[in-house]
Amino acid sequence: MTPLSRRPAGPTTHIHTGPTIPAWTLHAALAVAIVGAVCSAAAGTSLETSSLVVLVLGLLAAVGHAAWRPSTIPAVAALAATGLACIVVTPTSEGWRVPVIILCVHALVRLSWFTASSRPGGRIEVEVLRHEGRTFLVLGLAGQAVGLLAVVLTALEADGALGRSGALGIAGAVALLGLAALLLLPRSRTA
Amino acid sequence: MTHPTTPSPAPPWRRDRSVHLMTVAGIVFATAGLLLGRPHLVAIATPLLLGAVWSTWRTPHGTVRVTTRSTPTALRTDELDTTLTLSTPPGATIVRILVASPGTTRTETMVHVDGSRDLRLTTPSVRTGTRELFTIDLVAATTDGGWHNGIHHVRPESVLVLPAAQRITGTPVSRHLRGLTGEHRSRRLGDGSELRDIAPYRTGDPLRRIDWRVTARRSPDAGHLYVRRTYASAEACVILAVDSRDDVGPEIATWGAFGALRPDQQTSLDIAREAAATIARAVIDAGDRVGLEDLGRLHTPVPLAGGKRHLRRIHHALALAQPHGAPRTRERAPQVPHGALVYLFSTFLDDSAAAIARQWHTHGHHVIAIDTLPVEDPWDLTEREHLAWRLTEITRQDRLATLTSRGITILRWTDPTSRPTLQAAARERGPRR
């Protein structure tokens, strides 16, 4: 009998499922997606490095707070920051930025659902992520295709061959993609 | 035992906040791109808008059904379990489950359910008696997280955990034997298997007892008949007196209902139940009769009897023994049958059980006191509380020493030597015959 001994950790209830991963890995992935989206959107701006560091640290703090009390606040803040940076920055010939921003923005929106739905101490079955991954991949590839089109149209705009109708062309392409998806994909609505 | 737990009416499906986020962000990006003539902004909006359209398109309909299955009684093992069955409508493949059971840290898991799925839930537990199982909260969502329905709350079921009896070979029994049948030899003459002597035949002796060989040797002319006289068979009676007025765990800081007891640590009542079940099994295996007395109740739960069915009855009564409110002081000892040996299971943290043991001893019963206090763990005690515990322990030891001085045998069940000591006492102390 040791006086003032430490209490051993309490036992844990167990749910027998398939392979799982800890939910904190998705919180970490959300942080990476946020930093990736903001940094790639802000690349080439006249924003000072110190301001960018403060912005990124603020977003990471929001992610940390969301880990403690799950919410979509980090995602909203990151989307606002990314959008502002995209509007402020004049499009350049750096073609790498658009695919990265598309990937990061899409990832942070999807990851924010997982992080808002589960605490870092929880676990997520791999099968859930596998099913989610398929939808993510399809939508992401569609986004990348449109992004490639955007890069091409931007280059044409820069040459003066397209005028200002590039964005409208993209919008038309998106509408066509959406229409095709709605026609091809089966509905799950039941009577 | 199956418990359907689907609430009625079923909670409706609601659009998730993430869909609103995707829609608003997509519209903002697309609008900005169109107004500013930035195609890449519209490209960023593409997966967001497509995701929002996809979620809206796949609105789930139907209800989520939740049922749990568990057995009403279980024998004590290292864990308790139940089966959770989930049935979800098409499209709703994600279920967030939050499971908690008393004394454990809760577990949260997000699982994939394709139509229907059985999940096994387990929690470590070495406790006995009436135990609460799992409190379950769950929320179903669609694959893309666009829709979710309300929280399904599953109330915890109760299971009666029976004590696991260990096998020991022989326990001390009373020297005063009763009855006309049993495994023990009485001092009386009667029907039995052990020969006492050969005696001349007297009127009333059964003819089947005549020993013709002895008669032929001792009385060749058959003038006198001789009979074989045997000792009568008899049985011993054992009363198990369980002090269920209080239930304390190993952690002193939790005594007095301060803090939750851990399910992976046995309390004093768990130890008492298992000790009593072990002794009851040994007594019944030896062909004797056993009864149960609960010091926390005013009537005898189980009267004297023998047999396997009676042993199961005692196990159930032991599992149902539990404290009701603050420990009460019992002034008069419960009446026990004449000549019965009494096993008293108690922590002896107050004078009541010790006083009852002394009364039984004074009335001529042999009493064996089983100390059921778990090995104490003084974590998180302040200096004053530690001092208070030391004073309580000194008083308790004085109480036990007084009982020992009166001839009452005391064994601490958590001591590994207690069972060999009990068996040794059984070998030394046979029935009085």
Q: What is the pLDDT of residues B5-58, one digit of tens each?
A: 544 456 788 888 888 888 888 888 888 877 877 777 888 888 888 888 888 877
The answer to whether the CB atoms of B43 and A13 lie below 8 A apart is no
Q: Is the pLDDT of residue B270 over 80?
A: yes
pLDDT of residue B162: 94
DSSP B407: T
Task: Pick A87's closest partner by Cβ from B32, B123, B379.
Answer: B32
Residue A183: pLDDT over 70: no
Contacts of A120 in chain B (CB under 8 A): none
pLDDT per residue as tens digits for the range B360-372: 999 888 899 999 9
Given an 8 Å threshold on Cβ–Cβ distance, is B99 in contact with A157? no
Which H or E element spans position B412? Answer: strand B409-412
Contact between chains at A87 and B119 (C-beta distance less than 8 A): no
pLDDT interval class at B311 (50, 70, 90):
very high
How far, CA to CA in Å, does B9 sit from each of A120, A138, B65, B102?
A: 32, 36, 12, 29
Task: Give the gap in angstroms from C-alpha A136 to the nearest C-alpha of chain B.
Answer: 9
Give backbone dihedrals phi and psi of A11, rounded to 5 degrees, phi first: -70, 165
Q: With 70 as the cut, is the pLDDT of residue A165 above it? A: no
Q: Which residues of A touch B36 (CB under 8 A)?
A: 87, 167
Q: For residues B297 and B178, which has the higher predicted lDDT (pLDDT)?
A: B297
Measured CA to CA, the distance from residue A107 to residue A143 in angstroms comes to: 12
- Classify each residue of B189-212 as buried b or exposed e, where b means 16 or more C-beta atoms within 10 Å of its C-beta: eeebeeebeeeebeeebeeeeebe
User: Between these two residues, A22 and A71, which has the higher pLDDT value?
Assistant: A22
Nearest-neighbour CA in chain A from B312: distance (Å):
30
In whole numbers, what is the pLDDT of chain A averaged over residues?
77
Closest CA to B263 of B273, B275, B251: B251
Contact in structure between B252 and B378 (CB atoms under 8 Å): yes
A170 to B39: CB separation less than 8 angstroms, yes or no: yes
> Minimal Cα–Cα distance from B419 to chain A, Å?
23
| H or E element in which residue A158 lies | helix A126-159
Q: Helix H segments across B252-379?
A: 268-285, 308-320, 351-362
Question: A91: cis peptide before it, omega within 30°?
Answer: no
Q: Report the side by side order of strands in the sheet with B302-305.
A: B302-305, B289-294, B237-242, B341-346, B367-371, B409-412
Residues B115, A139: Cα–Cα separation, whole Å: 25
Report residue B432's pLDDT band, with 50, 70 and 90 as the boundaries: very low
Amino acid letter for position B279: I
% helix, strand, coil for chain B, step of 5: 30, 30, 40
DSSP H helices in B153-267: 212-218
Q: Residue B334 corresponds to which tokens in the numbers above? A: 């419960």
- Predicted pLDDT of residue B59: 81
The chain-wide mean pLDDT, for chain B, equals: 85
Res. B106 pLDDT band, cuts 50 70 90: confident
ipTM value for the complex: 0.79
Amino acid at B357: A
Contact A5 B378 (CB under 8 A): yes
Question: Model's pTM, two decimal places?
Answer: 0.77
Is it the case that residue B433 has pLDDT exceeding 50? no
Residue of B nearest to A119 (CA): B108
| CA torsion through residues B327, B331, B333, B335, sign | negative
The predicted model gives B146-166 an average pLDDT of 89
Q: In what order do the strands lie in the sheet with B158-162?
A: B73-75, B158-162, B129-132
Pairing state between β B94-100 and B135-141: antiparallel
CA distance A73 to chain B (A): 10
Residue pair A27/A66 in contact (Cβ under 8 Å)? The answer is yes
Q: What is the per-residue pLDDT for B429?
A: 57
The reported pLDDT for the residue numbered A191 is 33
* B144 interface with A at CB cutoff 8 Å: yes
> A135-151 pLDDT, tens per residue?
889 888 888 887 787 77
The minimal CB distance from B51 to the residues A102, A125, A139 is found for A139
Q: Is residue B312 over pLDDT 90?
A: yes
Burial class (CB in 10 A: 0-12, 13-18, 19+), A45: middle
pLDDT over 60 at A186, yes or no: no
B227 vs B224: CA distance, rounded Å? 10
How distant is the Cα of A54 from the closest Cα of chain B, in angstroms? Answer: 23
CA distance A56 to B213: 111
pLDDT at A170: 65
Which helix or strand (DSSP H or E) is residue B369 part of?
A: strand B367-371
**Mean pLDDT, range A122-134, rounded to an integer:** 91
Q: Are B29 and B42 in contact (CB under 8 A)?
A: yes
Q: Which two tokens stand for residue B8?
A: 């009625």
- Those of residues 186-205 in B touching chain A at CB distance below 8 A are none
State how far Cα B111 lies from the chain centre: 32
